[in-house]
Amino acid sequence: MLTIKSPRNYPPFNIASEEFLIKNFNDDIFLLYINDPTIIVGKHQNTLAEINLEYIRENNIHVVRRLSGGGAVFHDHGNLNFCFIMTHEGEQKVDFRKYTQPIIDVLRSLGVNAEFQGRNDLVIEGKKFSGNASHVYKNRVLHHGTILFDAHMDQLSKALKSDPLKFTDKAVKSIRSRVTNISDHLQTPITITQLEEMIIRHIRAIYPEAQGYQFSDKDIQQIELLVSHKFNTWDWNFGYSPQYGFSKSVKTEGGKIEIHLQVDQGVIEQIKIFGDFFASEPTEKVERILTGLRHDPYIIQRALETIRFNDYFNNVPMAEFIKAMF
């Protein structure tokens, strides 16, 4: 087994490193990393339905889609992430209890009553501090999980806040749980770095053959290619979302705006605009302009700036109109 501590906090790099390792290494691997603030969405989720888009853009929070299924999670510097990549020849490749037990062991050695609950969660006194997911590639299984140590809970709740009623789709929905930080349950305070070192020591005790490994320059180059071609692209992080419908209405000083969208692979296929606003030009022209564009506020704003917006929506602020689309 190789034990690896990621040299970076850049979320697309760390998620890309998981794909790189599962596809290019035959060794069993245990990887630890800490991300800059980010929302990590499950492979089969509708990204826009899971995130508070306005909040994450105002606060420079990354959004990255991972390889595994499951729900959206928030990462920051108070969140430690672990990943097992193992070879399996038998039928049962996914085993959440097996791969979370080392985390439970370490926390119990610190006097924290951590336990496995439900399908894939770790909890303390009924509150979740770790969500886990898996991905299978040929005879290799990737199991990864979060560990909330001293994450900013207010930012977590705001970044994931969204109104699912705006979206109609078949995507996997996140289940919001009561959460807690490990640091709130420690009898003797430690740092996240100390916890990281304790976990690595425990893994090496379980797997005596384990050796430390650092990414080579060639490894980093290949991971960065994955970042630029996949994990830092709109097509993967947003466009990979399943087909969905979206509807929302907002009240503005120029009247009510109501928008209905059909979106496929992140691109607007149909749009209808209703409301009690006044217009001197037909809104059908705006619908034609927006059809075929990415469901992305920056792209939409640039398109609307090419027309005399007030002719179509008298006294309606463009920013409020765009807000009605998200």
CATH number at residue 300: 3.30.390.50
- Identify the helix (H) or strand (E) that includes residue 178: none
Q: 284 and 226 in one domain?
A: no
Q: 294 and 195 in one domain?
A: no
Q: 261 and 220 in one domain?
A: no
Q: 254 and 211 in one domain?
A: no
Q: 225 and 198 in one domain?
A: yes
Q: 164 and 69 in one domain?
A: yes
Sequence letter at residue 19: E
- Identify the helix (H) or strand (E) that includes residue 221: helix 217-226
Position 241 scores a pLDDT of: 83
Give me 198's structure tokens: 């304790």
For the chain, give the percent of residues with pLDDT over 90. Answer: 75
- The yes-or-no verdict on residue 164 having pLDDT over 60 is no
Looking at per-residue pLDDT, the higher value among 56 and 173 belongs to 56
- The yes-or-no verdict on residue 306 having pLDDT over 70 is yes
Position 173 scores a pLDDT of: 61
Band (76; pLDDT cuts 50, 70, 90): very high
* Domain end point (choices 176, 211, 239): 239
- The yes-or-no verdict on residue 175 having pLDDT over 60 is no
* Backbone torsion region of residue 111, taken as left when φ is above 0, otherwise alpha when ψ lies between -120 and 50, otherwise beta: left
Q: Are 117 and 123 in contact (CB under 8 A)?
A: yes
Q: How many domains does the chain have?
A: 2
Digit-coded pLDDT (tens) for 188-238: 999 999 999 999 999 999 999 999 999 999 999 999 999 999 999 999 999
Beta-carbon contacts of residue 141 (< 8 Å; ≥ 6 apart): 84, 85, 86, 88, 93, 94, 134, 135
* Backbone torsion region of residue 76, taken as left when φ is above 0, otherwise alpha when ψ lies between -120 and 50, otherwise beta: beta
Q: 30 and 69 in one domain?
A: yes
Query: CATH code at 19?
Result: 3.30.930.10
Band (119; pLDDT cuts 50, 70, 90): confident
Give me 226's structure tokens: 């994955």
Q: 165 and 92 in one domain?
A: yes
Average pLDDT over residues 75-100: 89
Position 226 scores a pLDDT of: 98
Q: 111 and 57 in one domain?
A: yes
* Domain end point (choices 239, 259, 275): 239
Average pLDDT over residues 10-24: 98
Digit-coded pLDDT (tens) for 18-41: 999 999 999 999 999 999 999 999
Q: 175 and 68 in one domain?
A: yes
Tell me which residue range forms the domain holding 256: 244-323
Looking at per-residue pLDDT, the higher value among 44 and 189 belongs to 189
Q: 259 and 217 in one domain?
A: no
For the chain, give the percent of residues with pLDDT over 70. Answer: 94
Q: Report the mean per-residue pLDDT for the chain.
A: 92
* Domain end point (choices 239, 267, 292): 239
Q: 177 and 107 in one domain?
A: yes
Instruction: Compute the distance between CA of residue 124 and CA of residue 187 in angstroms, rounded to an integer.
Output: 14
Token pair 């070192």 is at which residue? 197
